[in-house]
């Protein structure tokens, strides 16, 4: 199916789909909404060299060096860049006003030349704009959104409200090492039926935080879902609530003390049905170890205490999120985890074309 036909198909679905709970969006029954969310997955078009991508800053802003790095990275991948009008705005710790960051996103969705939306960085600010997004517009123009950290909230909200597959992967300004590039290439620039996301050791990393570990053995299969722990916990109790039931979950964070990791995992255990996940793949939690000499539990002790007795496979130390080498996870695609091989096999392509 080509992109034009696919967009027409998406518009037909929109006549019956529902996106309740958001400004400017109307819907049908709550039961119908739940059915659509549970059964509909929309795959965006694959990227090709020469395509135009929209570069936006939906969270925090970047300095000029970060901006130049992002442009260079995207050009190196053979992509043309359309910059958001407010890409370099600053409002304190935010990349401009909420309404301006939303306007940039909406403009990228309306522009048919823009084939994907790349977030220049994470930081903070996405949760502020989620109720302001026009999910009917987004659903009518299914495009991949790429990023991680705070972008977790944007990827999840769009998938929840529209079914569009999002991509938890490198932000515009990096990383762009050979491993990260290869993982992104096979997921977003190819429509292979069974791509394999392989474990990559963190060479040069010192300490227990960089040491992979099987917290609970076993293999698992389910729909990939997850992202940054702080953001997943922050969505609890909101209209964009994250649900782990039946999912192959991936979770990571950076710079959080063990007691905060404990608190956020406890929130997900109590609110997001995390015990009903098919399996949990944890990233490298850099900067999350307890200070030497403190009476804190260690990071690994917290993870084992909170996740080790759920009766599902749990692995620590996979390469995604806040790491120097990063794989790309397509959110909403069925996958299989092999504990022995330390590999995630996608059971379907993440893109069409």
Which residues are tagged catalytic? Answer: 149, 252, 322
Q: Is 255 exposed, middle or buried (0-12, 13-18, 19+ CB in 10 A)?
A: exposed
Angle at the Cα of 123 from the Cα atoms of 46 and 102, rounded to 5 degrees: 60
Angle at the Cα of 44 from the Cα atoms of 4 and 70, rounded to 5 degrees: 115
Angle at the Cα of 233 from the Cα atoms of 297 and 174, rounded to 5 degrees: 90
Residue listed under structure tokens 């490298």: 284
Cα–Cα distance, 108 to 101 (Å, whole number): 11
Cα–Cα distance, 8 to 21 (Å, whole number): 25
Q: Compute the Cα dihedral for 236, 237, 240, 242 and give only its sign.
A: positive
Cα–Cα distance, 321 to 277 (Å, whole number): 20
């Amino acid at each position: 199916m080509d992109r034009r036909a696919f967009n027409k198909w998406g518009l037909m679905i929109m006549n019956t789909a529902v996106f309740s709970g958001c400004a400017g969006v109307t819907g049908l029954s709550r039961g119908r909404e739940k059915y659509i969310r549970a059964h509909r997955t929309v795959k965006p078009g694959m990227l090709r060299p020469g395509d135009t991508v929209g570069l936006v800053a939906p969270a925090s802003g970047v300095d000029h060096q970060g901006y130049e790095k992002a442009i260079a990275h995207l050009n190196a991948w053979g992509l043309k860049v359309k910059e958001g009008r407010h890409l370099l705005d600053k409002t304190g710790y935010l990349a401009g006003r909420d309404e301006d960051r939303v306007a940039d996103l909406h403009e990228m969705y309306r522009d048919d030349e823009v084939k994907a939306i790349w977030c220049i960085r994470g930081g903070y600010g996405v949760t502020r704009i989620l109720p302001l997004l026009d999910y009917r517009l987004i659903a009518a123009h299914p495009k991949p959104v790429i990023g991680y950290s705070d972008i977790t909230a944007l990827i999840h909200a769009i998938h929840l409200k529209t079914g569009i597959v999002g991509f938890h992967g490198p932000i515009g300004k990096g990383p762009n090492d050979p491993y990260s590039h290869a993982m992104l290439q096979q997921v977003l620039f190819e429509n292979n039926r069974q791509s394999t996301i392989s474990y990559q050791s963190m060479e040069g990393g010192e300490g227990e935080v960089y040491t992979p570990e099987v917290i609970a053995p076993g293999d698992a299969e389910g729909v990939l879902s997850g992202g940054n722990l702080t953001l997943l916990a922050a969505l609890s109790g909101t209209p964009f609530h994250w649900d782990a039931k039946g999912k192959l979950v991936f979770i990571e964070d950076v710079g959080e003390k063990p007691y905060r990791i404990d608190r956020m995992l406890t929130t997900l255990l109590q609110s997001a049905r995390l015990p009903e996940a098919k399996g949990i793949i944890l990233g490298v939690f850099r900067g999350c170890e307890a200070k030497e000499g403190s009476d804190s539990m260690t990071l690994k002790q917290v993870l084992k205490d909170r996740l080790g007795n759920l009766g599902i496979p749990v692995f620590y130390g996979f390469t995604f999120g806040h790491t120097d080498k990063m794989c790309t996870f397509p959110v909403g695609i069925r996958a299989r985890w092999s504990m022995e091989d330390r590999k995630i096999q996608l059971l379907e392509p993440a893109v069409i074309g």
